[in-house]
Amino acid sequence: MNESNNIDNSTVDKLSDLAKLDFDPSEKTEIISHLNRILKFIDKLNELDTQHIEPLIYLTDESNVLREDEVKNEIPQKEALKNGPKHDSDYFRIQKVKIR
C-alpha cells in the first residue's frame, strides 16, 4: 500500500468534521482500520491489467418494457375514504402543514 494513502487520526478527524460526526477513540481506531483495508483492496485492484477490457456501461442488454398508463377507478371514493382515520364527505383530513 502506498504510504501517502495511509489513513490516520488527522484524516478521520477531517472526515468526521466534514460529515459532522463525532467518534470516540475506539471508534476512530476501528474506522482507521476499515478505511486502510479499503485502500489496500483498491491498491490490489489497481494491479490488474485492464487495458484490453472494455468498460462496463450497462449491466444488461435488456431495456425497460414500458406500458401506457391507464386511468382506472377501481375503488370508489367513499370506500377509499373509509380507510383514512379522519375524513369528510370528499377528502382525507390531515393536520395543517407548516412551511418554514
pLDDT tens per residue, range 69-93: 888 878 888 888 888 888 888 888 8
**CATH numbers and ranges of domains, the chain:** 3-46 (1.10.20)
Q: Is 8 exposed, middle or buried (0-12, 13-18, 19+ CB in 10 A)?
A: exposed
Q: Whole-angstrom Cα distance, residue 98 to residue 89? A: 24
User: For residue 4, what pLDDT is reported?
Assistant: 57
Q: Write 7-15 long-range contacts (CB < 8 A, 24+).
A: 7/31, 7/32, 7/35, 7/36, 7/39, 8/32, 11/35
Q: What are phi and psi of 77, to 5 degrees?
A: -55, -45
Asked if the model's pLDDT at residue 1 lies above 70, the reply is no
Using CA atoms, how far apart are residues 39 and 2, in angstroms rounded to an integer? Answer: 9
**What is the structure's pLDDT at 12?**
94
Evaluate whether 29 touches 7 at the Cβ level (below 8 Å).
no
Helix, coil or strand: residue 87? strand
Give the orientation angle of helix 25-46 with respect to helix 9-19, to 10 degrees.
100
**Which tens digits make up the pLDDT trace of 29-52?**
999 999 999 999 999 988 999 889
Over residues 2-32, the pLDDT tens digits come to 555 689 999 999 999 999 999 999 999 999 9
